[in-house]
């Protein structure tokens, strides 16, 4: 998925062929049954273009709940493991190299279980190491910089090396003279040029980047839109700057430019490092784009611009006083050759001085041969039915496991608001219903007790004046969603939280910052919270209005369930909570005081 993986695999194959190996490149996504791989590619593209928050949510999920990586591994193994095993046995390779994380999971599983007896290498093309890249069945993990190698070493007991990235020979030869490159491309000989790239798919906020570069008045934006024809046409219609679609002249464009502005941290960055072109990250895409941005800044190879007001000054730093440092840091990552490490592993495994056949793998659009396993006496449609049943069971297990794991993770403070260490407060919220909300005295009561009002979105929609009155009294507001939660929280409308926050904003004019469900949190909740830009607040204990615990614990979140109670009942319960907290030397604080 993406040209970065393809080109890295192609360059590695070229280098190994120069060492005398025969290579075979395969597209992992074509090994799925029923064109599922093509569907995955389409879904990934739609996530980045239409709903990047969904990609950000799933990207974080693998980090927050590592167990889900193993669940995904099982599902992928069911769908593609048999075909991958047949490919390996039919090719008889000396070594296998993965340049795509999902493939590494499947082959790593086969290698660990002894179902393939071939050394396995993973080449991590990103600066940021994602859990899906790592597997104990992989014999050697090759990273593009030493910081990634340190992270990978902590995640596996197997060998890890840092060699730097791979770029094509044209980039390794260095940049063209700037004047020559500009003349060849028809670009202005004078002035500063900012080259805008967004990968082969042209995803991300390219239009805003283009406009904001032009608004600086100091940089001519030259945008490469990849295969995104819609974005190319939209930018071209603006009538300024230079707009290109798919091009094979990136080496010339980089040679002609003063700075590269990018959003994903992919192969274009590595090519820029090799050409001594400073790199600035702006509007990084969800998931790996943001992770790569943070890691590249930590490595000192890029700068990060955080907004339009920051863009011009950051570009000036990158092309001025900090240029030499960025260029030197970018050059320094090229510390070795991944092909040398692959060659060494193959020779050690073969115990010979010459390289035999080699079968690397990469994601690219290819059509492999072979449909059934030789020697099988089971009808093909029976095997397919069994595989599909297993896949369906695995997907159902993943869905349930995803929600339950998210629930457990947020309960332990992962991706959820929490009290600061050593806090001497209890955090109190009241889940309101129509009876209490209709009482004009409620706002005064909650504000005096420093308590958060939790209002369902449906209630905010039907009682706007009452919710507005709470806000005018200075009451901290949160929501627990639109309607009552579904059993086990496994099926929840994806727009539930967004509708709720919008209803409260319409009532008060303020953004509702906190999502405080009385019960568990599902994967949909986590994704919706990211989309709605709200925090998840987990309740430590849900209290009925007639039962306040004898001892309150510092740092805990207590929610009073008062959906059927009157304002007078709420006031009495809160008075009891305040008295017990004061007795134990604790303060009472709203949910907004959590961090």
Whether the pLDDT of residue 190 is over 80: the answer is yes
Provide the pLDDT confidence category of residue 488 given band limits of 50, 70 and 90: very low
Lowest mean pLDDT among 30-39, 184-193, 220-229: 30-39
Q: 3-164+337-365 — its CATH code? A: 3.40.50
Whether the pLDDT of residue 393 is over 70: the answer is no
Residue 379: partners with Cβ closer than 8 Å, 6 or more residues away: none
Of residues 353 and 121, the one with the higher pLDDT is 121
Whether the Cβ atoms of residue 24 and residue 359 lie closer than 8 Å to each other: yes
Whether the Cβ atoms of residue 478 and residue 591 lie closer than 8 Å to each other: yes
Of residues 490 and 439, the one with the higher pLDDT is 439
Cα distance between residue 410 and residue 284, in whole Å: 26
Give the Cβ contact number of residue 230 at 10 Å: 10
Provide the pLDDT confidence category of residue 538 given band limits of 50, 70 and 90: confident
pLDDT for res 65: 75
Provide the pLDDT confidence category of residue 572 given band limits of 50, 70 and 90: very high
Phi and psi at residue 486, to the nearest 5°? -75, 155
Whether the Cβ atoms of residue 79 and residue 73 lie closer than 8 Å to each other: no
Mean local confidence (pLDDT), 180-198:
94
Provide the pLDDT confidence category of residue 325 given band limits of 50, 70 and 90: very high
Q: How does DSSP assign 554-595, residue by residue?
A: TT-EEEEEESS--HHHHHHHHHHHHHHHHHTT-EEE-GGG--
Fold of the CATH domain 420-593? TIM Barrel (3.20.20)
Mean local confidence (pLDDT), 335-361:
72
Provide the pLDDT confidence category of residue 353 given band limits of 50, 70 and 90: very low
Of residues 191 and 371, the one with the higher pLDDT is 191
Cα distance between residue 588 and residue 88, in whole Å: 63
User: Left if phi > 0, otherwise alpha if psi is -120 to 50, otherwise beta: which for 331?
Assistant: alpha
Q: Which of 66-80, 278-292, 323-337 has the highest mean pLDDT?
A: 323-337
The DSSP code for 416 is S
Whether the pLDDT of residue 442 is over 60: the answer is yes
pLDDT for res 49: 66
The string of pLDDT tens digits covering residues 23-81 is 888 888 887 887 787 777 777 766 666 666 667 777 777 777 777 788 888 888 888 88
| Rounded percentage of the chain residues whose pLDDT exceeds 70 | 83
DSSP lists the bridge partners of residue 196 as 223, 261
Provide the pLDDT confidence category of residue 142 given band limits of 50, 70 and 90: very high
Q: What is the pTM of this model?
A: 0.60
Of residues 26 and 411, the one with the higher pLDDT is 26
Radius of gyration for the chain, computed over Cα atoms and rounded to the nearest angstrom: 28
Cα distance between residue 415 and residue 407, in whole Å: 11
Mean residue pLDDT of the chain comes to 83
Task: For the chain, give the longest Cα–Cα distance.
Answer: 87
pLDDT for res 219: 95
Domain boundaries, the chain: 3-164+337-365, 171-332, 420-593
pLDDT for res 361: 40
The string of pLDDT tens digits covering residues 105-137 is 999 999 988 889 899 999 998 888 888 888 889
Fold of the CATH domain 171-332? Rossmann fold (3.40.50)
Q: Which of 43-57, 197-211, 254-268, 491-505 has the highest mean pLDDT?
A: 254-268
Let me know if the fold of 3-164+337-365 is the same as that of 420-593. no
Whether the pLDDT of residue 489 is over 50: the answer is no
The C-alpha angle with vertex 431 and arms to 65 and 478, in degrees rounded to 5, equals 60
pLDDT for res 530: 67
The string of pLDDT tens digits covering residues 150-179 is 999 988 889 999 998 989 898 888 899 999
Whether the Cβ atoms of residue 28 and residue 102 lie closer than 8 Å to each other: yes
Whether the pLDDT of residue 388 is over 80: the answer is no
């Amino acid at each position: 998925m993406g040209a970065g993986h393809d080109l890295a695999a192609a360059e590695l194959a070229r280098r190994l062929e120069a060492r005398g190996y025969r290579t075979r490149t395969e597209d992992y996504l074509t090994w799925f049954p029923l064109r599922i791989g093509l569907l995955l590619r389409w879904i990934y593209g739609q996530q980045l273009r239409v709903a990047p928050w969904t990609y950000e949510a799933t990207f974080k999920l693998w980090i927050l709940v590592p167990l889900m990586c193993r669940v995904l591994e099982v599902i992928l193994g069911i769908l593609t493991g048999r075909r991958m095993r047949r490919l390996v046995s039919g090719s008889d390779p000396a070594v296998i190299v993965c340049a795509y994380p999902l493939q590494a999971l499947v082959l790593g599983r086969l290698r660990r279980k002894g179902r393939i007896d071939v050394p396995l290498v993973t080449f991590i093309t990103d600066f940021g190491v994602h859990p899906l890249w790592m597997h104990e069945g992989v014999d050697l993990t090759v990273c593009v910089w030493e910081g990634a190698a340190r992270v990978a070493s902590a995640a596996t007991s197997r060998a890890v090396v840092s060699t730097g990235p791979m770029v094509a020979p044209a980039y390794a030869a260095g940049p063209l003279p700037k004047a020559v490159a500009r003349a060849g491309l028809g670009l202005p000989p004078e002035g500063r040029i900012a080259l805008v790239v967004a990968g082969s798919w042209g995803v991300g906020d390219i239009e805003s980047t283009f406009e904001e570069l032009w608004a600086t008045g100091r940089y001519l934006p030259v945008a490469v839109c990849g295969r995104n024809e819609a974005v190319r046409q939209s930018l071209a219609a603006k009538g300024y700057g230079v707009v290109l679609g798919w091009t094979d002249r990136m080496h010339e464009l980089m040679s002609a430019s003063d700075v590269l502005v990018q959003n994903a941290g992919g192969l274009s960055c590595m090519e820029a490092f090799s050409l001594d072109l400073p790199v600035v990250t702006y509007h990084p895409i969800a998931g790996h784009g943001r992770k790569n941005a943070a890691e590249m800044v930590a490595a000192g190879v890029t700068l990060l611009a955080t907004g339009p007001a920051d863009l011009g000054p950051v570009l000036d730093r990158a092309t001025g006083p900090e240029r030499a440092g960025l260029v030197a840091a970018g050059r320094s990552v090229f510390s070795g050759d991944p092909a040398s490490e692959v060659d060494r592993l193959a020779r050690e495994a073969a115990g010979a001085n010459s390289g035999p056949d080699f079968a690397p793998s990469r994601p690219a659009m290819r059509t492999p041969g072979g449909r059934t396993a030789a020697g099988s006496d089971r009808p093909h449609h029976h095997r397919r039915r069994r595989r599909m049943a297993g896949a369906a069971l695995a997907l159902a297990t993943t869905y349930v496991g995803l929600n339950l794991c998210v629930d457990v993770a947020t309960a332990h403070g992962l991706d959820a608001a929490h009290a600061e260490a050593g806090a001497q407060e209890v955090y109190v919220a009241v889940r309101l219903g129509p009876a209490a909300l209709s009482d004009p005295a409620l706002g005064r009561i909650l504000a005096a007790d420093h308590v958060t009002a939790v209002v369902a979105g449906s209630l905010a929609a039907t009682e706007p004046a009452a919710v507005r009155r709470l806000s005018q009294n200075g009451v901290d507001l949160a929501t627990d969603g639109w309607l009552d939660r579904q059993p086990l929280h496994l099926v929840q409308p994806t727009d539930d939280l967004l509708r709720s926050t919008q209803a409260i904003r319409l009532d008060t004019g303020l953004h509702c910052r906190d999502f405080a469900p009385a019960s568990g949190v599902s994967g949909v909740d986590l994704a919706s919270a990211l989309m709605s830009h709200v925090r998840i607040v987990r309740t430590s204990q849900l209290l009925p209005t007639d039962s306040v615990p004898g001892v309150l614990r510092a740092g805990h979140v207590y929610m009073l369930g008062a959906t059927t109670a009157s304002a007078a009942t709420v006031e009495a319960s809160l008075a009891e909570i305040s008295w017990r907290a004061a007795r134990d030397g604790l303060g009472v604080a709203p949910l907004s005081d959590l961090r």
